[in-house]
């Protein structure tokens, strides 16, 4: 098995190439004509587990970029090449060693990232968490988290599905072990159980969307009692849509099965607009990136950060507002 060099080596190599790469993307305002002025511009860094090429994380990066441009900051976005906690820990350590003015991190696995986050917190650099980590950020020495409480969002999805008549749901989890996604399924179960329903978790690998589609189709074909499906991201919603369409075409499923997802993409929004999906849960990722930069900038200026969770969701996109959200997707802010 080929091992990648440490994240710091990658970062230096990318800097030598003179352009953003897999491990680093400068998304903020800079003065490229004056190296001295550039060095004096405060630098805020985001280190997350999601690549900025991903439609979801690109919106987070856009929010961070916009805040940086408005405030005159340098903003960098860093992520491992894949969902890899060892590489993410190395990235956090490399960024901290470069002494940014402020740091925002996602925490998909508190145990795996605990050592690097606690070490980062001990340096005195203003740090907050975004997106995932609402349940563990305090334990790791951080004061503030920006994002959507995932169990609460799953619970809201479960209640909404129960109101639509769902009694047994399939929760399609594409990253079992990611605490945020596991919490979404747990919340869904809580919400449905309140109405007497139940949930089964189905693990899929979105690196192989055809296999994911077959797994979803097989579960729906075998288990006649399932009348609702919740996917945990847009990339999982697409194979679920295809699986359901194939089953309906073959007479294997009635059109009343409820399908919903977390997070947004153009295919998801079009499916909602056309009535092929019931709803999507929007955690408003633009605000996660934007607010992180704004709050860290204030922490640098006056030494103050909020205390606790700043909620950016859940917000729901339904057939009633899908068209307007599609327009905003075109601008890269939803």
Q: pLDDT tier at 311 (50, 70, 90 boundaries)?
A: very high
- Tens of pLDDT, residue by residue over 228-276, are 999 999 889 999 999 988 887 777 665 578 999 999 989 999 999 999 9
Per-residue pLDDT at 31 exceeds 60? no
Q: What is the distance between the alpha carbons of residues 38 and 30, in angstroms, rounded to a whole number?
A: 6
Using alpha carbons, select from 200, 261, 273, 216 the residue that is nearest to residue 234: 261
Q: What is the distance between the alpha carbons of residues 32 and 290, in angstroms, rounded to a whole number?
A: 22
Q: What is the number of other CB atoms lying within 10 angstroms of the CB of residue 305? A: 16
Q: What is the distance between the alpha carbons of residues 36 and 330, in angstroms, rounded to a whole number?
A: 36
- pLDDT, position 98: 97
- pLDDT, position 38: 53
- pLDDT, position 25: 56
Which DSSP string corresponds to 272-291?
A: HHTTSS-EEEE--HHHHHHH
96: three-class secondary structure by DSSP: helix
- Tens of pLDDT, residue by residue over 179-237, are 889 999 999 999 999 999 999 999 998 888 899 999 999 999 888 789 999 999 988 99
Q: Could you tell me the CATH superfamily of domain 7-148+284-314?
A: Response regulator (3.40.50.2300)
Per-residue pLDDT at 35 exceeds 70? no
Per-residue pLDDT at 2 exceeds 80? no
In sequence order, what E strands does 64-193 have? 74-78, 102-105, 127-131, 144-147, 168-173
Per-residue pLDDT at 33 exceeds 60? no
Q: Which residues pair with 199 in a beta bridge?
A: 169
- pLDDT, position 252: 62
Domain 150-282 has CATH 3.40.50.2300: yes
> Of 3-7, 38-42, 60-64, 207-211, which range is least confident?
3-7
The pairing of beta strand 315-317 with beta strand 279-282: antiparallel
Domain boundaries, the chain: 7-148+284-314, 150-282
Per-residue pLDDT at 40 exceeds 90? no
Common-topology check for domains 7-148+284-314 and 150-282: yes
**Average pLDDT, integer, range 58-86:** 95
The overall pTM is greater than 0.95? no
Please state, in angstroms and as integers, the Cα–Cα distance from residue 236 to each residue in 13, 17, 77, 133, 333, following that order: 34, 35, 25, 22, 21
Reported as half-sphere exposure (CB side, CA atoms, 13 A), residue 77 has a value of 32
Q: What is the distance between the alpha carbons of residues 263 and 284, in angstroms, rounded to a whole number?
A: 8
Q: What is the distance between the alpha carbons of residues 317 and 326, in angstroms, rounded to a whole number?
A: 10
Q: pLDDT tier at 56 (50, 70, 90 boundaries)?
A: confident
Which DSSP string corresponds to 3-23?
A: PPPPHHHHHHHHHHHTS-BTT
b/e map of 157-189 (b: 16 or more CB within 10 Å)? bbbbbbeeebeebbbbbbbeebbbbbbbbbbbb
Q: What is the distance between the alpha carbons of residues 107 and 120, in angstroms, rounded to a whole number?
A: 13
Burial of 140 from C-beta contacts in 10 A (0-12 / 13-18 / 19+) = buried
Which DSSP string corresponds to 21-41?
A: BTTBEE-S---TT-HHHHHHS
Q: Which residue has the tokens 């922490």?
A: 299
- Residues above pLDDT 90, as percent of the chain: 70
The size of the chain, in residues, is 334
């Amino acid at each position: 098995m080929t091992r990648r060099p440490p994240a710091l080596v990658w970062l230096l190599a990318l800097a030598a190439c003179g352009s953003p790469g897999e491990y680093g993307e400068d998304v903020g305002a800079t003065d490229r004509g004056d190296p001295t002025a550039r060095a004096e511009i405060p630098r805020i860094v985001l280190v997350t587990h999601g690549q900025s090429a991903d439609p979801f994380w690109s919106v987070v990066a856009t929010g961070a970029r916009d805040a940086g441009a408005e405030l005159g900051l340098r903003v960098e976005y860093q992520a491992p090449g894949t969902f890899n906690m060892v590489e993410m820990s190395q990235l956090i350590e490399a960024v901290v060693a470069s002494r940014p003015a402020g740091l925002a991190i996602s925490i998909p696995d508190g145990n795996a990232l605990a050592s690097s986050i606690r070490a980062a917190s001990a340096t005195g650099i203003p740090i907050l968490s975004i997106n995932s980590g609402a349940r563990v950020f305090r334990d790791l020495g951080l004061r503030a988290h920006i994002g959507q409480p995932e169990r609460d969002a799953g619970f809201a999805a479960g209640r909404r599905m129960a109101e639509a008549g769902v009694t047994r749901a399939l929760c399609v989890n594409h990253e079992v072990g990611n605490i945020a996604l596991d919490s979404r399924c747990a919340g869904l179960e809580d919400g449905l159980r309140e109405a007497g329903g139940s949930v089964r978790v189905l693990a899929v690998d979105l690196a192989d969307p055809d296999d994911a589609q077959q797994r979803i189709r097989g579960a729906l074909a075998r288990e006649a009692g399932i009348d609702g499906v919740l996917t945990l991201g847009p990339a999982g919603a697409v194979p679920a849509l295809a699986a359901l369409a194939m089953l309906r075409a073959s007479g294997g499923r009635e059109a009343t099965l409820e399908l919903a997802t977390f997070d947004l993409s153009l295919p998801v929004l079009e499916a909602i607009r056309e009535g092929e999906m019931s709803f999507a849960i929007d955690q408003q990722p633009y605000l996660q990136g934007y607010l992180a930069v704004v709050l860290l900038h204030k922490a640098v200026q006056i030494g103050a950060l909020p205390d606790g969770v700043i909620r950016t969701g859940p917000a729901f996109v339904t057939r009633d507002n899908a068209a307007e959200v599609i327009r905003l997707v075109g601008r890269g802010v939803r």
